[in-house]
Amino acid sequence: MRIDVRALSIPDVKHIKTSRVADSRGSFSETYVQPIFAAHGLDYNFVQENESVSERAGTVRGLHFQEPPFDQAKLVRVLRGRIVDVAVDLRQWSSTFGRHIAIELTDHDDEQILIPAGFAHGFCTLEPNTVVLYKVDKIYSSAHDRGVSWSDPDLNVKWPVAAKDAILSEKDRALPAFKCLTPSFA
């Protein structure tokens, strides 16, 4: 397996590109090999894998995070479709606190994004029937599940969908503003 790892504008968030081998049958790609990731400084023990299916373009999921001790690092990839993936730094001690990254991921670029613990995460689908797969290094805990409003103007995320057209869960519609969050990552 060959991977290319680069830091994004928030250096702790990594963009990962894997290699794909194609022949007359189709293609094959190793998307995660723990020792190779660890050799690139990405040493995580992923313990749960999640898949979301969004039927319509303009579906927004997020911005979600879990508080310690169940704070999660995530390795995100798109199996079908396209998304704009967003991570917001919630680590109060960080020089990038309150800033975000937004990156488009597709099903054909062999790309992933690694988001460490201490970030809120969400995405918006750009195509119908989009499937997103992500690994996490801590199990889901409903008691530690939190979020921040995806459309909070203080975050200044340029989403590819207008607020009136976004498809959201009721839970995500009720998430608090960034300035109302209780510090979780001091």
| Catalytic residue numbers, as ranges | 64, 134
Question: Which letter, b or e, does each residue of 122-145 get, where b requires 16 or more Cβ atoms within 10 Å of its Cβ?
Answer: bbbbbbeebbbbbbbbbeeeeebe
Q: Which of 17, 153, 151, 157 is nearest to 86 (CA)?
A: 157
- What lies within 8 Å, CB to CB, of 180 at 6+ separation is none
Decide if 105 contacts 77 (C-beta within 8 A). Answer: yes
Which whole-number Å values give the CA distances from 101 to 83, 139, 142, 181, in the listed order?
13, 24, 26, 19
DSSP code at position 178: G
Residue 105 token pair: 């991921």
Joined tokens for residue 186 = 């001091």
